[in-house]
Amino acid sequence: MVITNGWGFADALSVSSAAACRKYPIFMTDNGKLSESNKDIISSIQPSKIFVIGGENSVSDSVVNEVKSLQPSLTDSNIVRIGGETRYDTSLNICKYFNLNSNSTVLANGANFPDALSGSALASKLGAPIMLTDGKDISNQKSYIDEKGYKGIFLLGGLNSIDLSVEYLLKPTSLIPKTEIDYITALKGYCDSYEDKTSTVSTQMEDIYNKTTDIRTAITSASTAQELSSDIEQLITLFNQGNSYLSSYKSDLTTLKSEVSSLSVPSGLETYNNQYLSSINTQINYVDTTMKYTTSCLNIFTEMKDALDNMDIAKLEESTNALQNMGTDGNSISNIENGNKGIDDLDTRLGNALTNYQQQ
């Protein structure tokens, strides 16, 4: 029989196919003790061998001792614990231990259970092991797969479950369409273009922010209305320059969005296009928000300068209060790389896929 933790799906799913092939029942338990119903069934079936899946944090030795007390004939040699540092190591060690005689294997993402749960029936039917992965790095699993020489490898789920880089590491290049490689290469180029343009405007806006900070410091020490007016005029110039940078950047983003939207996307790779466009839209919205802020500042600075030039104290106080009440942190001017996370992740995914393709 097999004992796994009942509150975590990974270990039970990893062993499900092997248990089905060997006709071993799977008992799910709390970490620290067996339920009364489990005790009754174990006493009834009197297992001759126990497989404990996972480390002490999954199934503690106190559970094992309970089983031994229910079945005194069990010796330590008949109790096998199969675990690993991670759920992926445990899954691979299960495959190695049971060593199912199959020409196929099934890979599923171990961070979420639906794909592995759905695929467990397929794996059992094929007599194939289930290997859980993180969907990106299968270096350990690849060594075992090569050693076993599987003829059929089933990847469960879409690209957000098992990334294309994994597929390209396992699939012969002769089976990878040129249209896919052309598309991935093109989309990676658009990722690089996005990052170049974003890096440029980020440097520009950081320079604007630093100069603005210097001027704000100078304003606090201005001794005359003329000096204060001159400082505010410099702020107006800087914010106009910043708006020009942002406007040009937004135009570049809109062009990238249009061109990527027009790409011919091979079937199954829509996730990548969607990720790019979603990130671009996030960035465009952020630029719009930043420009709304800088434009509001510009309007207030202009009113302040007019009030100073005309010695309109009431208007100056009104403008100063308006600036204080905006409630927006000026740091947003220099923090323009808001949408980078999605593009950076996509660029890495595409780069890994191309690298694995080229290394085949």
Q: What is the pLDDT of residue 179?
A: 97
In percent, the amount of the chain with pLDDT more than 70 equals 95
Residue with more model confidence, 152 or 325: 152
Q: What is the pLDDT of residue 221?
A: 72
Which residues is 51 bridged to in the sheet?
2, 80
Q: Where are the alpha helices (DSSP H) in 221-269?
A: 225-261
**3-state class (DSSP) for residue 313:** helix
| pLDDT tens digits for range 80-129 | 999 999 999 999 999 999 999 999 999 999 998 889 999 999 999 999 99
| pLDDT tens digits for range 293-311 | 889 888 888 888 888 888 8
- pLDDT surpasses 80 at 281: yes
Confidence of residue 354 (pLDDT cuts 50, 70, 90): very high
- Domain regions of the chain by residue span: 2-162, 178-358
Q: Which of 127-131, 227-231, 232-236, 288-292 has the lowest mean pLDDT?
A: 227-231
Q: Which of 39-43, 157-161, 225-229, 289-293 has the lowest mean pLDDT?
A: 225-229
Can you tell me the mean pLDDT for 26-32?
Answer: 92
In percent, the amount of the chain with pLDDT more than 90 equals 71
23: its two tokens: 């006709």
Using the Cα atoms of residue 190, residue 195, residue 196 and residue 201 in order, give the sign of their dihedral: positive
Spatial separation of the C-alpha atoms in residues 354 and 143, rounded to whole Å: 20
Q: What is the pLDDT of residue 217?
A: 74
| pLDDT tens digits for range 125-141 | 999 999 999 999 999 99
Q: What is the pLDDT of residue 332?
A: 60
- pLDDT surpasses 60 at 327: no
Q: What is the pLDDT of residue 331?
A: 56
Spatial separation of the C-alpha atoms in residues 284 and 194, rounded to whole Å: 12
Using the Cα atoms of residue 256, residue 262, residue 264 and residue 265 in order, give the sign of their dihedral: positive
Mean pLDDT of the chain: 91
**Domains 2-162 and 178-358 are alike in CATH topology:** no
Look up the CATH number of domain 178-358. 1.20.120
Provide the CB-side half-sphere exposure for 275 (13 A, CA). 21
CATH architecture of the region 2-162: 3-Layer(aba) Sandwich (3.40)
Confidence of residue 43 (pLDDT cuts 50, 70, 90): very high
Residue with tokens 């290049």: 173
Q: What is the pTM of this model?
A: 0.84
Residue with more model confidence, 267 or 315: 267
Can you tell me the mean pLDDT for 325-339?
Answer: 61
- pLDDT surpasses 90 at 216: no
Confidence of residue 61 (pLDDT cuts 50, 70, 90): very high
Q: What is the pLDDT of residue 171?
A: 94
Spatial separation of the C-alpha atoms in residues 259 and 117, rounded to whole Å: 39
68: its two tokens: 């031994």
- pLDDT surpasses 90 at 210: no
DSSP state of 265: P
Q: Which residues does 328 contact at the CB level (< 8 Å), separation at least 6? A: 293
Q: What is the pLDDT of residue 334?
A: 58
| pLDDT tens digits for range 152-185 | 999 999 999 999 999 999 999 999 999 999 999 9
153: its two tokens: 């490898």
